[in-house]
Structure 1
Amino acid sequence: MLLQHRQSINLGNNVIYPLQLKNGKYLLIDAGPDFHLDKLNSWQLLNIELENLSIQPSEIEKVLITHAHIDHAGLAHMWASQGATILVSKKDVSAVELGNEHLLLQKKFQRNDIIRYGFPEYLAENIFNNEKQSQFSWYPCALENIELPKKTYPLINGHYLEVLDAPGHTPGNIVCFIPQTGELFSGDTLLPTTIPTPGMHYITSQKAKEDYKRWPSLPDFIETVKSLQKLKVKYILPGHGSTVDDPQKLFKRFNTHHQIRAKRIRKLLSEHSDTPFGLAKRQYPKIPEKRLIQAMIEIIGHLDVFLISMEVECSEKNNTLIYTSTK
């Protein structure tokens, strides 16, 4: 049975959800991306779409950021300038506060680490130095406009919105759930057409921009999906794509995908020790080396899982990390 009544706004490739609070104001799930077209920008488009739903922009009281990525948090600074409170999980606050500077720091740290994981330095230099400029902008959002979300928010009709920690896609990733209707607002945790990447994440701050350590995302990501599967979810309303009325299909696809990937990596490591880059080359022999970074990132995620379960050991040789099966 399809969910018919939930209002949503398509902004570029993103979907934003306005929920009416008990006090008559609105909470917006995700701020939306900041981009410019020939005649209009995304802020103008978003305001037009709100008015088409008979919602005045001034009625948006709170904007909840599911995760600190440029396409979901890009317009946070604009909503803050209109007086809305920006709700961000603690581990994602610094990213929203820094905006594009956070993005640049992430890329710098990723470049350094991807080389330690075996990726050729000359290729890394070429890829990161010649990366296409993003079509999105991400301006800083002042800390005074940001609050940590409460656990619940009362909605109209006696319903309430639960805010759930769901680390994985980012360190401070959150999802929202309305138990009375079974609606799960999944952000990028579960998507209808793809398996979201665990990514390579570094928790940055204004005070410690050089002191970084990669946050292992996939172990938490897998546990998050397991915990969400225990909820009585009837509908998944994602940050990209259409509403899903068969949530178990997405849960199963996510779990099956990572089970198959883990099995392949275990097999490769049983043959001999290797770097994540070496594992990616062996797993995808037909893909050009310069396109293997995304594959490496998922492999690194599974190696993080294996380290926790003590299935592998990690050693360092000539500033390169090498993984060995303990089985």
Structure 2
Amino acid sequence: MVISIGFEGSANKLGIGIVNDGNVLSNCRRTYITPPGEGFLPRETAQHHRDKILDLLQEALDKAKVSPKQIDVVCYTKGPGMGGPLVSVAVVARTVAQLWNKPIVAVNHCIGHIEMGRVVTNSDNPTVLYVSGCNTQVIAYARNRYRIFGETIDIAVGNCLDRFARVLKLSNDPSPGYNIEQMAKDGKRFLPLPYVVKGMDVSFSGILSYIEEQANKLLDSKDYTPEDLCFSLQETVFAMLVETTERAMAHCGSQEVLLVGGVACNERLQEMMGEMCAERDAKLYATDERYCIDNGAMIAHAGALLYLSANATQWEDTTCTQRYRTDDVEVTWR
């Protein structure tokens, strides 16, 4: 058994979690929330993380009821993510590892989501749809790698939803995507939007540009409500994701789908994916916001798996990589 502590700060969520052999002892988080109509920038996000991280570290230790002496390994997010926030959290993780005289493990953020989803849901070998503010990938495991079967060729689905929320001046609390989801529930009229699936890949920038250009005109004419536009955008982009996921399932002969990442909390996406799985006699696995949204526990868990199977990261390799691909990691624990 290994007790690991994980530090996550690749975007606007700062998380520290402590995990003991797959059991979550604590999973504490702080979110940097900007005013309506604004996104979050690297410098300000990194400052938020620096301001909150020491208090969050103490909170995580207190909730887990463990002392630094009981921690076996320190894990942190190496990437992918925003440079400033990644580095600000990595510096603290490296410092803690030195102060506590513990080994350190650099973790791929995407792998953290996948392994946390697998342990929480008890899924075996699922086709994974990883959807968040910064990432959109359809993934399946093969020959010691998580292979990317399809992905966005421009912006992530979460980024598409978040940016449209800014057009409507929706609140960023708790998140713009969540507020779009709630508004979409009251949408009644569907606006046809571009549907861009290219083989196994998807594209969202054209959809976003189109609805951004049309939004004010449609709202001023009273032909569509903000709820209608949220509904139309969600239905279109989620249908694209269900299509590419089903294609990957057919290719791999898979009977399981695992949804991970912040957008995976969306109940409408879960419903649409569930309908597709039911038609294929397949199983859908999803988690709630505790583990879908970026968190420290997922980094602690994935780091522990890597530590037990391949040992700690060499000190000179404890850097950050903004574009750290899911398929760059050799999966030594499966």
Structure with the larger RCO, 1 or 2 (CA within 8 Å, 6+ apart)? 2
TM-score by length of 2: 0.29
| TM-score (norm. length: structure 1) | 0.29
Higher helix fraction: Structure 1 or Structure 2?
2
Larger Rg: 1
